Chains A and B, each alone.
Chain A
């Protein structure tokens, strides 16, 4: 296990500046780690060793120019467009699709000096919570390869957790960054809706999707976020104002922040170790003089219901373009309708088809008001209720996932159980505020458990400050070096 793999973004940057390390060495170390770990993890759908080495050479040639991710090896979820390189969404229907343009975030990664190592696995079109809905492979959880890494950004989470990338981009529609981050013991950040451009993110549910970073720690996640955030003239839903200095307050600690925990944790089904860790954390914070108050948290049950209506409705429309006419998979040779049916019937996986059908149904004439209309009204209500919460509190702390990593295949036959994995994460998407998952501890089975923070709209700097504070309380990486440091069951 190379020491190089242990460095954080800031540490790498300092070493590059001092010319004690070449980007080439770092990239080689990561590529070697991929060679070593990838066969058992299957986090990547594509690795770009040649491009990464060429890029490293170019960066070494140029020298450190102060750009924020100079020489940082990153992985990108495969629903984010990379010019000329397959962007499959882990779907057969886009298996050979190569976009002619880079997503804005990819462009910004390149401009920030990052080195893109490859594209990571996901649940097909980001629909799922286990990464098992990939048409190509099931990614394994680096802490226990019999278990799922979570999803849908499971490939990105597993790559970071196993040290195959220093950071990665994921996308979060209902928790798809935070849940796998929690299950893999890494940090995962979803910004305020509109903070990061969606241009080039293959849409699942446009009004909920946000790209964000997964990294080993909060500080690294903040660095990547700084590189990709901000207004994009190509995405009309991005926030027009420039992103605030996201990491300015990182070290200010938890003192002075008004922190809340949801009242009545017993009401929600969650595994005992998860409940335990919440209680322990509250106790720890109290010891340090911080008394989290309890707050009646709105929209926990209703947001998951409205989430599955809104997200699937948008998905049914967003995924209509995959029809065999222009690109991607095509089946059938006869009449147009036959081509449509066979292309989509054979090209999409079961979960995607299930959601397209659900989404089509809830938008249908005669059902719109009962489902889509109602879900929108619920969404407006949840947003209003959270506005009230954030008037009183800076942060809300709650678990990310009701359970640690589950066994592969365990929930495939039970979509409802799978959907309930998102119960704690969907409010942030439904209401659009920022949220982060921070690794908090291990279950008795040695599986990571994540703690989540919510903050008010546009308050990423407070969110990151709180997350950094929590990180210091948990000291997760020091206590459980895990597979990223060659620990876990991989080494």
Chain B
């Protein structure tokens, strides 16, 4: 049972990383990414190939992040002169291209058999039966680090500019913002995060094959972001956990409902998940939490507080 729990938590963590990426790209910047699954696969294969070549798992993560950042950035750049809908089509097409490449370029990707025997990070640090726990701990650290980095970004002038681009790109440029660069940067940073998710996915399973990257991953990630509240990373933590628990938890339906067989339940499961999301959106359309907003008091209070401490120091020096 603990093993199962650890597995679910690892899946939740990977879903959270994907969600964080989409929340930056789509939640904050308003750029849809229907190619999540494709970029995820790209990251996983890149990390797998690097790790298999013996360059190390850390190098795999870095390369996966860089490759995904570059392709996401390039995709955003190509679609910029076109309207928003084209980005949707472009990313969708890109996902499909990646899937086909992984299937057919067997010299590189192993085709439908995939790439087995991918090395794992920190392998050998603990006994084999405790390894998954260590992997989970590592993943939690990564999630926390990414979460903090993104929270800083969201609250920064960069985050503000990106939200402005989402609201009205014309206004953003009349205020001196380079909309093109902001879009490309937001999409590329999101891409790097997807790459990291892909790397951990590959390391966790120790093998990658095309069937792991079906388009449903894109759908689940959108669900997690929508349920969490578009733009809110804290909400996303709940959103991703809820969606993954629904998906994984509903596997137990077969133990409770005896009248239906496994295949029938498998289809009903998806219907139930969809139904759950629809009900959720009807009763809480804004998601769990709202996007960050600057409070004037936070900045003003801090500046007057600084004034007070400075005065305090000054008095101490004088006495």
A binds B: no
- A-side residues, CB < 8 A to B, are none
